[in-house]
Structure 1
Amino acid sequence: MAQLTTEPIAAVQPLPERSVTVAGLIKELRTFQNRRGEMMAFFQLDDGKSSADVSVFPDLYARSRATLNSGGIVLARGTTGLDDRTGLLALKAEGLWTLDTARKLALRSLVINLPEGRPKPGFAKRLQASLREFTSGDTAVFLRFPNENGDRVSIALGEQWQVTANDALFEALSHFCDQEGLEFQYDPRRLLSDPAGGFEIKAA
């Protein structure tokens, strides 16, 4: 979670027009129509220690209704301010994602930590077969394993083995290491290229 957010809600300074990404549960969701008949939403984003008042304007609302009603942890990116009525941090939302969606979009690289000992015969072919089904994405894959001196070294598998991250991939890789052996490295700027989340430009 820390790799995907700017900081906890309580630590965010409500400076004018500062862009931040925070996470929490949606509470007190309210929807209404503006004067043009377009739907908008307001809610409190609660991370268990503090809250922020979040406003969602029509364009983003139209793309984010499923996220607003997901019931789980949500990431919100937007510009900050201070709510004069509640005294809480105010956030004008520019993007909304469920935690699961954010993790998949922002995953920059996946490190497979192999257990101690020599790989079993046919290991390379079995790993290639497991990865090949998912090699239509842009998440880099690395193998980390012990060398003859006992040091752990990493090798990149190359662009042809970049994958689309999803639960099916993680399940396939569980045959080579347990879940704790998978290391996830995130780049939250990747969220900026997701039109469904509210952005339509590539991060610089």
Structure 2
Amino acid sequence: DKGIAGQIFDLMEYFAGYGFNKSHSAAYALVSYQTAYLKANYTLPFMAALLTSVKDNTDKVSAYIEECRRLGIEVLPPDVNESRESFTVAGSKIRFGLAAVKNVGSGAVESIIQSREKDGIFNDYTDFCRRLDTRSVNRRVLESLIKCGAFDSLGYRRAQLMAAVDSGLSLAQQSQRERENGQLSLLDFLDDSSDSASIELPDLKEYPVDQMLALEKETLGLYISGHPLEQYRSVLNRLSTITAMEAPELPDNGEVVLGGLIMDLKKTSTRKGDPMAILTVEDLTGSIEVVVYPHLYARCRPVLRIDEVVMIRGKVRENGDETKIIGAEISTLDSHLAGELHLKMDNVDAAMLDQLQLIMRSFKGNAPVFLHFENEKKVIRTGEEFYVDLSVPMIERLEELFGRGRVKVKRDNNMILRSGPAEEKHCQATGTKTGDKKAEKDGFFSILDL
């Protein structure tokens, strides 16, 4: 029967989309067993080889580094004295390879390794610059090595070295000319050469942590010595149902909750001209694209900005080889964290109080609000109807109204808000004073700066 034959063929065609013959399945089973054995018994070399195999795929490298952290293995940044071209085992840790650093080509990597093998490790920054081959190690290479932390083991601050790039290149060029002319520098005859031609480094403070991480991201494509989300790890693990690495493994249209950092924001519009956005959101394992259609974009526009930590509820959508999340709800992570809002109320007039009440009613939540009256030495907790959502837009509105110094948030990055208002044991119900002795002793700022 032609109809039955067609049905059977359709079933066979459908099965071919996911079915495997026995030999294929057996081969995969064997490879799975072998890799599982290697991971369990030779964890360090296995993970180093795994990282090397995906070194050109930043998302996979990020995911495998997170797996290393889960296994208790520290992945170290590149190092001019220890790194090879690819990932290597360094004692009980894994060392990043020099070839993974952006702007550092194979010629520069080969030059650094050859110099190290021929004349020993680099004693200091001066020694490195004097020995480097300026034909392959130029300004961009030197700056990238500094930014990713490749000189950290020599005891320098990255900010110092960035300020001394010109000095290093000048010394390198001078040494290069002498080598090419067949001249021997006096340094070649002196044991204490570092004192004779030392590059003077300015006494600069190190970059702030967030700037150091940004420079690592710029040169390595990922964070290595830390992560902006590290402080939220436990909360993200509790609130999220998946990670960016796991999303491609989920079935199409599966509902998920993902927490991460907005790394990129592309504003666009539909064919009808309605505004929407496409986000790149990064968590501790990698990044994923999130589509924000007009109806959601109109509601959550204030929280959609670069470097904002957000929670996203949506559905996984497969599009060929790409996996996306179609957003259904987006909120700041701050709005999920337990915390308190403290406001300094001295010299507040009636108009400001009206504005305050309007803001608090516009951002209702579960975080208690404390009003500090420094002149009267008292602290009052508002009623639950004025508890707020500790979101960034709400804080910004209050800072515009009161000024930054009069708005403080005490937040617990490890505690998630319960469904009801948080209980506060150190103060009493609405309109009652807290201990006057404590208020007199601590004052507003000592309380808020906790």
- How high is the TM-score relative to the length of structure 1? 0.52
Residue 184 of structure 1 aligns with an amino acid whose one-letter code is: M
1:163-182 deviations in Å (ceiling 9; x for gaps): 656597974xxxxxxx77x9
**Corresponding residue to 1:57 among 293, 296, 307:** 293
Quick check: 2:265–2:306 contact (8 Å CA) kept in 1?
no
Unaligned runs of 5+ in 2: 1-234, 339-362, 369-377, 396-406, 420-450
Structure 1 residues 31-180: aligned runs within 5 Å: 31-69=267-305, 71-84=307-320, 87-103=321-337, 132-136=381-385, 164=388, 166=390, 171=410
SS for the counterpart of 1:10 is: coil
Return the alpha-carbon distance in structure 2 between the equivalents of residues 48 and 81 of structure 1.
21
Q: CA deviation at 1:135?
A: 2.5
Structure 1 residues 6, 32: closer, same or farther in 2, change over 3 A?
same
SS for the counterpart of 2:384 is: coil
Return the alpha-carbon distance in structure 1 between the equivalents of residues 307 and 260 of structure 2.
11
RMSD over aligned Cα atoms? 3.4
SS for the counterpart of 2:258 is: strand
Return the alpha-carbon distance in structure 1 between the equivalents of residues 328 and 259 of structure 2.
14
Residue 11 of structure 1 aligns with an amino acid whose one-letter code is: E
Structure 1 residues 49, 74: closer, same or farther in 2, change over 3 A?
same
* Greater fraction of residues in strand: 1
Within the alignment, does 1:14 sit opposite 2:250 as a pair?
yes
Moved over 6 A (4+): 107-110, 167-170
**Corresponding residue to 1:184 among 415, 430, 437:** 415
Q: Percent identity?
A: 22
Structure 1 residues 164, 9: closer, same or farther in 2, change over 3 A?
same
1:83-112 deviations in Å (ceiling 9; x for gaps): 32xx3431000011111123369x9899xx
Structure 1 residues 89, 102: closer, same or farther in 2, change over 3 A?
farther
Within the alignment, does 1:3 sit opposite 2:238 as a pair?
yes
Structure 1 residues 9, 186: closer, same or farther in 2, change over 3 A?
farther
Structure 1 residues 11, 72: closer, same or farther in 2, change over 3 A?
same
Q: CA deviation at 1:66?
A: 1.6
1:48-106 deviations in Å (ceiling 9; x for gaps): 4222111110011111222111522111110112232xx3431000011111123369x
